[in-house]
Amino acid sequence: MWNDLEVGWQAAFGSAWNAFKEKTIPIGAAIVNEQDVLVSTGQNKIYSKQGNPKEIYQHHLAHAEINAILKLNEEEHPNIRQYTLYAVMEPCPLCFGAIVMGSIRHVKYAARDTWAGATILNSRSEYIQSKKIKVEGPFADLEKIQIALQTYFEYERFRTDIVVKRWETHCETGVKLGRNLFAAGTLRKFANDNCTAGHVMDYMFERIDKK
């Protein structure tokens, strides 16, 4: 599966896995230009203890999409409105606002977020509608992988399934996989062994529909 993914998905999920390894929320984003060349990546760094000058970290605004967008500007990227942002999770209100104001006009997201997702704003605001942003998502198999990763993290850090139950209403398979992986401690072991995102995603993909 990993080798068949678009470069944007590989970069976004690679960033999400890096976030998981840093024990922060496993969400990643990537931006590709009109030739599908990767130009920026970002990861959630809310609980990260380090970052670079163009990133936000150790702050509740340190979301993946924000960090990817902050690395670009229109002077250096005059065709930015032709770029595509890939996000492993449906952008929240903060991130969708940044997409609008950051001149991104094409968004692909892997997994729905029935808790904080805000792509509905694309059709609810006259101002945002005027930007003509194309939104694509979710993508079924990628959604299962991301929901499994998020479920694992929620149990590991917060020891609660309040948010998980919301995801379970539309992605029961992904939640089930995440619970099973958490019970076995699999993903944290992979992180400690510094396994690649490709290895982890292929491992999870093989187990998506297994009983």
Tokens of 66: 């924000």
CA distance 187 to 179: 11
Indicate the pTM of the whole model.
0.97
For the chain, 211 residues long, give each residue's pLDDT as a single digit of tens: 899 999 999 999 999 999 999 999 999 999 999 999 999 999 999 999 998 899 999 999 999 999 999 999 999 999 999 999 999 999 999 999 999 999 999 999 999 999 999 999 999 999 999 999 999 999 999 999 999 999 999 999 999 889 999 999 999 999 999 999 999 999 999 999 999 999 999 999 999 866 4
With a CB cutoff of 8 Å and minimum separation 6, the contacts of 161 are 154, 155
CA distance 146 to 40: 20
The catalytically annotated residue of 22, 34, 55, 65 is 65
CA 209 to chain centre: 22
Could you tell me the two tokens for 99?
A: 């997409």
Give the span between the Cα atoms of 180 and 203, in whole angstroms: 13
Catalytic site residue 65? yes
Query: From the CA atom positions of the chain, what is the Rg in Å?
Result: 16
Instruction: State the number of CA atoms in the 13 A half-sphere of 186 facing the CB.
Output: 18
Handedness of CA 154, 14, 187, 107 (dihedral sign): positive
